[in-house]
Structure 1
Amino acid sequence: MSRVTTPAPADKGGQYRRVPRSLHPVAWWLWAIGLATAVSRTSNPLLLLLVLAVLGYVVSARRGDAPWARAFKYYLWLALTVITIRVVFRAVFATGTTPDDHILFALPHLPTPDWYAGIQIGGPVSLEAVLSAAIDGLRLACMLCCIGAANTLANPKRALRILPGALYELGVAVTVALSVAPQLVESVQRVARARRLRAGRSRGLRALRSIAIPVLEDALERALRLAAAMDSRGYGRTGTATARTRRITAALMLLGMIGLCAGVYGLLDATAPRLLGFPTLLGGAVLCCAGLALGSRRVSRTSYRPDPWAIPEWIVAGCGVASAVLLVLTTNFNAAEVNPSLYPLTWPPLPLLPTVAILVAASAAVAAPPPPRPTNRAGGIAPPPARRATKTETEPTKVTP
C-alpha cells in the first residue's frame, strides 16, 4: 500500500509553509556545543555579547510551550550571578597592580602569611583587573547560556530514545537530572500564581515557607508519577544477556576507555610514540562501540515514531560546527583580535570573520521548523484567541422604517 502524503497547509497568499514539528534534540545540542566551543576560543567582549544576542534570538524564535522552554531567562540570571561573583572575588582577592593600571578604589588590606604569597586580601583595585574578571565571567556565562539554550530548545525526554541500549540507564538518570530544574521553575511559578490569586501579601524571606513546602510536595508527586510510569513501561527489565556476555561487555568497555585515554595522551604529548596516538585512539573507539553493541542486547525496548533527521537538522547542527571551526581557524591566524589585550586599555575590535561565524549560528532560527502549537482536548490545533468586539459592533443597529 502506498503512503498518502498531505501537503503543508497554505496561507492566504497561496504559499505553502512548513509543517510545525520538533527538531531532533541532537541537532540542538550539536548547535549549542559548537557555540560553546566558539566561546571558549575568544575573550573579546563584543563577540561574547553577540553570542548572547544570537542565543536569545534563536531561543525566542524556536522555543515551544513545554515547561523547560521557559527556563532560559533563569539561565540569564545565573549568568549575571556568575559575572558578579567573578568580579567580587577578583576585587577582594587581588593579585597586585602594575604602574600602568588605573586604580578605581582601595579596600582594607589584610596581612597574609608567607605560605599564602602571591595573593593578597584587599588593597587597590584597578580598572584592568575588574574588566579582566568581567570578561572571564562573561565567557563562563556564555557557556552556561549555551547549555541553557540547548536545554530550552531540545526535549530531554526525546533525546533519551536515541541512546544505545547499554547507556539507557545512564541516559534516564541524566534526563531526569536535566528536567528537574525546569520542573522546579514551573512549580515555583504555579505556586506564586496561586498565592497572588489568594491575595498573598508576604514577600521575600517571609514567602519562602509558603512557596517551598508546596514546591517540595509537587516534586514528590512528580517523582512518584515518574516511578509508576517507568514501572508500567517495563523499565529495568533485561533481555537474554547471560553473565558471560555481561563480563565481556564490561571488559570491552574498560579496555576501550583505557585506549581512548591513552590515545588522547599520545595526541597531546609530542614526545610520545606514534602508535600511542591516533591508532590507540581508534582502537579504543572500536572497543567501546563493540561493548555498546553487545551491551544493548540486554535492554529490550521499542521506538514509537522515531525523530527524523532531515535537512533542517543538518543545517542547524552544521551552523554550530561551522561557528566553532571558523573561530578556531581565526584564533590560529589572528589571535590579537579574537583575544584582545587590556594593555593599553582601548576599545576592543570587532573582527569580520568571527562576527560572520557567530551570525551563521543565528541562521538556525530560520532553518529549524517552527515548534508545534498546543492542541486542545479534542486533538486539534487550538484556535487563536477570540478578538474583543468593539463598541460599534456591540451596539444594536437602528432599523429605519
Structure 2
Amino acid sequence: MSARLPRDLHPVAWWVWALGLAAAASQTTNPLVLLTIVGVATCVVMARRSDQPWARSFRLYVIVGVVIVVLRVLFRVVLGGGVESERVLVNLPQIPLPDWVLGIRLLGPVTQEAVLAGFYDGLRLATIVICVGAANALANPKRLLRSVPAALHEIGTALVVAVTMVPQFADSARRVRMAQSLRAGDTRRFGRLRRFLLPVLEDALERSMHLAAGMDTRGYGRSGGVTTRERWTTGALMLAGLGAICVGVYAGLDTTAPRVLATPMLAAGVAVAIAGLVGAGRRVSRIRYRPDPWRAPELAVMASGLAAGALMWWVARHQVPTAFPDLVSWPTLTTAALVAATVGLIAAPSAPEPRMAQVST
C-alpha cells in the first residue's frame, strides 16, 4: 500500500524509460511510429509530472521538435533534396553555383520525395529530443545528481548548471511574463522580445549558478586525504581506459582493422575505466539523507522503456519496410511496430502519483 502513496519516482528510472523510447525512435523513420512515440511520451508526462519548475519544460522541447522538422524540410527545399523524381510539387528557379560545389544546388524543382525525406529525418530527430524532454520534465534534476557515481562528483557543478538550465528557463519565462504584464513598456514587437528574452536568460543562468554555488559551499564532491600517487594512479587508469575504448570502437567500425583490437580492446578499456572509477570513488566520502528507493514501480517503468527499444530494434532488423518506409507509398504499421511504440504507456499506470509541492496558506 505504501508503494502507491504519492512519491517521486527514482529519476534514473525515468531517464532509462525515456532513453528506451529515444532508442526506439532512432531505429525507424516511419512517421506513424514516431508520432505514436511522441503521443506516448506526452501522455505519460501529462499523467505523471509534478508541479515543480522543471515539469514545465516539456513544452519547450515540443517547440524545439517542431522547429527541427520545419528546418529539416526547408533545408531540403533550399539546398536540393538529393532525390530525383517526376513528382514535382513546386518548380523554383535554380541559382547557378560554381563547379567546385558539385552535388549542392540552391532551389530548383521541389519534389515530393525530397519533402518527405526531410520530414521523416526531422521527425525522427524531433522525437528523440521530445523523449529527452519528457525525462527532464519527469525526473527531479537535483535528485538525479545524487545518483551520480561518487567518482563523477568532481564535474557535478557543471552538470547541475547544464541539467537545470532548461527547467529554470521555463520557470523564469513564466515569472518574467507575469511581471511584465503588470507594467507598461515598449509596445514594438522587437522591443517586447528584447525586454522578455534577456531577463529570462539572465535569471535562468543565475538561478542555476546559485544552485551550483550552494552545492560547492556544502562540500559537494570534495575529497580529502588523497596522496599524489593515488591521484596519478586514478588518472592514469581513466585515461588508459578511455584510450582503449576509443581504439575498440574504431576497430569495430573499421572492418580492415585486426579483430584483436575490436571487442577484446573494448572490453579491456571498459574494465580499466571501471577500475579507475572505483578508485576515484573511494576517495570521495559522502552520506545520503533519505536515499531514493528502488521498488516495483521503478522496475516497471524501466522495463517499459527498455522493451520499446528492444522491440523496435527487432522490427528494424526483421520488418525493414515497416521501419524504413519508401517515399512513394503510404507507410504501414505491423503489430510488432505498434506494440513497440505503445508499450511505453505502461509507465503511466505503473508510476505512483508525484508528490506535489506544499502550498502555504
TM-score (structure 1 length as normaliser) = 0.84
1:386 counterpart residue number: none
Contact 2:13/2:299 (CA < 8 Å) preserved in 1? yes
1:336 to 309, 321, 326: 321
TM-aligned CA distance change 1:333 to 1:292, over 3 Å: same
Write the distance in 2 (CA, Å) between the matches of 1:242 and 1:286: 24
Is 2:50 aligned against 1:64? yes
Q: Give the CA deviation at 1:236.
A: 5.6
C-alpha distance 271-96 of structure 1, shift in aligned 2 (>3 A)? closer
Would you say the 8 A contact 1:69–1:152 is kept in 2?
yes
- Which residue in 2 is equivalent to 1:110? 95
Question: Paired residue for 1:235, among 190, 196, 220?
Answer: 220
Residue of structure 2 aligned with 1:152, choices 128, 137, 155:
137
Q: What is the match of residue 280 of structure 1?
A: 265
Residue 359 of structure 1, aligned match among 320, 342, 349 = 342
SS where residue 76 of structure 1 aligns?
helix
* Alpha-carbon contact 2:161-2:212 (below 8 Å) kept: no
- Which structure has the larger Rg? 1
The separation in 1 between residues aligned to 2:198 and 2:315, in whole angstroms, is 52
> Equivalences for 1:2-401 in 2 at 5 Å?
8=2, 18-95=4-81, 98=84, 100-198=85-183, 202=187, 204-215=189-200, 218-219=203-204, 221-222=206-207, 225-226=210-211, 228-235=213-220, 237-342=222-327, 345-377=328-360
Instruction: Name the stretch that deviates more: 270-279 or 73-82.
Output: 270-279
How many angstroms does 1:197 deviate by?
A: 2.9
Secondary structure of 1:105's match?
Answer: strand
SS at match of 1:363: helix
Measure, in 1, the Cα distance between the counterparts of 2:8 and 2:300. 15
Aligned 8 A contact 1:95 1:118 in 2? no
- Larger CA deviation: 285-294 vs 263-272: 263-272
How far the C-alpha of 1:301 sits from its partner, in A, is 2.3
The total of aligned residue pairs comes to: 361
* CA-CA distance at 1:217 after TM superposition: 5.2
Post-superposition offset of 1:119: 1.4
- For 1:169-190, what per-residue CA distance to the aligned partner results, in whole angstroms no more than 9, with x for missing partners? 2233122112112212211211
Percent same amino acid among aligned pairs? 48
SS of the residue corresponding to residue 244 of structure 2 reads: helix
Give the conservation status (yes or no) of the 8 Å contact 1:32–1:320: yes
Unaligned runs of 5+ in 2: none
Task: Classify the secondary structure of the residue corresponding to 2:107.
Answer: strand
Letter of the 1:348 counterpart: P
Contact 1:95 1:119 in 2 (8 A): no
Give structure 1 regions of 4+ aligned residues with deviation exceeding 6 angstroms.
none
| Whole-angstrom CA distance in 1 between matches of 2:134 and 2:158 | 20
Aligned residues of 1:240 and 1:297 also touching (Cα < 8 A): no
Which range is displaced more, 38-47 or 166-175?
166-175
Q: Which amino acid aligns with 2:13?
A: A
Q: Which runs of 5+ in 1 are unaligned?
A: 1-6, 9-16, 379-401
Mean Cα displacement is larger for which, 191-200 or 71-80?
191-200
Q: Are 1:111 and 1:121, in contact at CA under 8 Å, matched by a contact in 2? A: yes
Deviations 1:66-125 (A, max 9, x none): 111011111111111111111111101114553x43111122211111111111111111
Contact 1:96 1:120 in 2 (8 A): no
Partners in 2 of 1:220 and 1:61 — Cα distance?
29
- Further displaced range: 247-256 or 187-196: 187-196
Shift of 1:161: 1.0
Inter-partner Cα distance in structure 1 for 2:333 and 2:113: 20
What CA deviation, in whole Å up to 9, does each residue of 1:117-169 have, x standing for no partner?
11111111111111111111111100110111111111111111122222112
Secondary structure at the residue paired with 1:104?
strand
Give the Å deviation of 1:238. Answer: 2.2
| Matched residue type, 2:358 | T
Letter in 2 for 1:37: A
- The SS at the match of 2:94 is strand
Shift, 1:272, TM fit: 4.3
The answer to whether the Cα contact below 8 Å between 1:79 and 1:141 also exists between their aligned partners in 2 is yes
Quote the offset at 1:31 in angstroms: 1.0
How far apart are the structure 2 equivalents of 1:93 and 1:327? 32
Q: Which has the higher helix share?
A: 2
Cα shift readout 1:249-274 (whole Å, capped 9, x = no counterpart):
01111111122223333444445444
Are the structure 2 counterparts of residues 40 and 291 from structure 1 closer, same or farther at C-alpha, using a change threshold of 3 Å? same
User: Deviation per CA, 1:293-347, whole angstroms, max 9, x where unpaired?
Assistant: 11123323221111111111111111111111111111111101111111xx222
